[in-house]
Chains A and B, each alone.
Chain A
Amino acid sequence: MSERLSVFKTYKLFVGGKFPRSESGRVYEVTDSKGKWLANAPLSSRKDARDAVVAARKATGGWAGATAYNRGQILYRVAEMLEGRRDQFVAEVADAEGLSKSKAAAQVDAAIDRWVWYAGWTDKIAQVVGGANPVAGPFFNLSTPEPTGVVAVVAPQESSFLGLVSVIAPVIAVGNTVVVIASEKAPLPALSLGEVLATSDVPGGVVNILSGKAAEISPSLAAHQDVNAIDLAGADAELSKALQIAAADNLKRVLRPQAVDWSADPGTDRMTAFLETKTVWHPTGSLGAGGSAY
């Protein structure tokens, strides 16, 4: 019997719940930390970015309109699915970042736990950042946070998986949809995450994952009129400046790059960065006239 040939995986983008190749047909070589070839990844073009925004926009209504509880269940489901494919991700992260098996496993475990952390936050963030405001008049005055909309994310370059999860989970936990550009040098864990999301009840278009050169794709996302916010987590100083200028044209929300320890407790900052506060005034009528507290 002849020796069995192993089957190579074709890494593909994750856009609108589907796995397309780059519209440009281009790929680039991805190597491990020692320069050994691992796989070819799609080299996305501006058009792929545009298609991803269209898919993300289409998904906003359903995702923002889903109950917070339901979003939490779905995010938790992502953690469940990841747990089942833990070994695959440990291997991919170890190759991508040149880590030992145990260090890579710690990264993957932390990433899985992060999904659970944000799953818990979906129906609690409104109580933390919203609430009733005391006003000088006969009104109930209530503030509630609402999702910003379509958020473009330049994922961290070094932390290929934990960093990626740490930037996309908070964005979608609060009801936004996301177009993320994976780490240029280590995109494989991100592209595999697409396969997990596709089987986790995350509606198509809520998360869209592109691989390629951030410097090529991100300027058109920053200038895109239909992208509401951009997270520059993985952009270097020069790119970050250019993107902020492009994003200023249509008053996008911008989360500037900052030094983050991805393994630390994430806090709520990345969720509140992509929330808009809606305040409603409701007349209290006779309650106010009667001298009640409201």
Chain B
Amino acid sequence: MPTVPSNGNEAAERLASMADVTASDGALRRFLHGLPGVDTVGLEARAAMLGTRSIKTTAKAYAIDLAISMIDLTTLEGADTPGKVRALCAKGVNPDPTDRTTPKVAAICVYPDMAATAAEALKGSGVNVASVATAFPAGRAALPVKLADTRDAVAAGADEIDMVIDRGAFLSGHYLSVFEEIKAVKEACRREDGSAARLKVIFETGELSTYDNIRRASWLGMLAGADFIKTSTGKVAVNATPANTLLMLEAVRDFRATTGVQVGVKPAGGIRTTKDALKFLVLVNETVGEEWLTNTWFRFGASSLLNDLLMQRQKLSTGRYSGPDYVTVD
């Protein structure tokens, strides 16, 4: 079966062919609960083992540049101002002003009301605007509010929408309502000219309690048309971990084997050092392979990670250890 990207007409047809499993709450539950259980010990052991790989010299330089190009540079604070968003956009376009060979980040991730400011600041730069939506981070709002939130962000110029699922509904077993909600938000991502913003679906893995739930949520999100599945909001205690990201990568791999649709993965929150980022890249390479080693299919949701990557990059190019005085504080 040829692989198709998640955001095309063929993908929609492939998903339509899976309609029998999403036809009713009962069918969806049977399908999700029929997924094989997760071997917790095996999963964590494999994630830990892959984290011990040593990446040095030219491979490290390549990985650092790749990681920078995969960052969704994020500011999601109540205290965000247009000035701060513009400063972050400038940093995303040109992360290290002392070295113009530094790649750009993938996107700037902001709240919907800042999407227009970011879009204006990033016009023509090649860096995307990502906006969280659907009453981020709790997702506790009525569906019409969530859809309006999404449409606003898309209209303001967001190229990507990061939505949160209704964890309450998921945990109480109302899978179909979560499914329908993701589909409705996907629909709201469409623009008038027929194109659409890419949809990232956040599961908030820290609130899903079990690995089995993370696997189920991953399949649910992908069946509903997610372009990316994303671990967390960064607002709870447990965010992206190697193990839960590995599990989602396996889900993405199996989903492509079943339907031929390629979906991206975005770990977010808690990834602060170059060492951590390289571990995630090893997971990607070993689980789904090189096709995912691009910012079209893999992203890091992060803010302080960029500074650490830049310091490591400076170390590799100058031979001297760098320090926080030599990168911008955002």
Contact = CB atoms under 8 A, between A and B. Distances in A.
Interface of A: 50, 53, 57, 220, 223-227, 249-250
A223 B323 contact: no
A57 B321 contact: no
Contact of A50 (B321, B325, B326): B321
Nearest 9 pairs of A and B residues by beta carbon: A226-B323, A223-B320, A224-B321, A225-B323, A225-B322, A50-B321, A225-B326, A225-B320, A225-B321
A53 B321 contact: yes
Given A225-B326, A227-B323, 9 more contacts: A53-B321, A53-B323, A57-B324, A220-B320, A220-B321, A223-B321, A226-B321, A226-B322, A226-B325
A226 B327 CA distance: 11
Contacts of B322: 225-226
A249 B319 CA distance: 12
Interface of B: 314, 319-326
A4 B152 CA distance: 78
Most chain A beta-carbon contacts within 10 A, residue among B321, B324, B325: B321
B319 A226 contact: no
Nearest to B314: A225
B324 A224 contact: no
A259 to B, nearest CB: 31
A121 B322 CA distance: 33
* Main DSSP-derived SS at the A contact region: loop
A99 B177 CA distance: 81
Contacts of B319: 223
Contacts of A250: 320
B260 to A, nearest CB: 45
A224 B324 CA distance: 11
Counting chain A CB atoms within 10 Å of each CB, the highest count among B314, B319, B323, B324 belongs to B323
B307 to A, nearest CB: 12
A57 B311 CA distance: 15
A150 to B, nearest CB: 9
A249 B321 contact: no
A287 B4 CA distance: 79
A250 B323 CA distance: 11
A272 B319 CA distance: 31
Nearest to A46: B321
Contacts of A226: 321-325
B233 to A, nearest CB: 27
A223 B320 CA distance: 6
20 contacts: A50-B321, A53-B321, A53-B323, A57-B324, A220-B320, A220-B321, A223-B319, A223-B321, A224-B323, A225-B321, A225-B322, A225-B323, A225-B325, A225-B326, A226-B321, A226-B322, A226-B323, A226-B324, A227-B323, A249-B320
Contacts of B320: 220, 223-225, 249-250
B52 to A, nearest CB: 14
A109 B324 CA distance: 40
Contacts of A249: 320
A227 B319 CA distance: 15
A53 B322 CA distance: 11
B323 to A, nearest CB: 2
Contacts of B326: 225
A62 to B, nearest CB: 16
Nearest to B321: A224
Nearest to A47: B321
Nearest to B320: A223
B253 to A, nearest CB: 34
Contacts of B324: 57, 226
A57 B323 CA distance: 9
A132 to B, nearest CB: 31
A53 B314 CA distance: 17
Contacts of B325: 225-226
A50 B312 CA distance: 12
B162 to A, nearest CB: 31
A179 to B, nearest CB: 12
A223 B324 CA distance: 15
A57 to B, nearest CB: 7
B137 to A, nearest CB: 28
B247 to A, nearest CB: 30
A50 B321 CA distance: 8
Contacts of A223: 319-321
Most buried by A among B319, B320, B322, B326: B320
Nearest to A250: B320
A57 B324 CA distance: 9
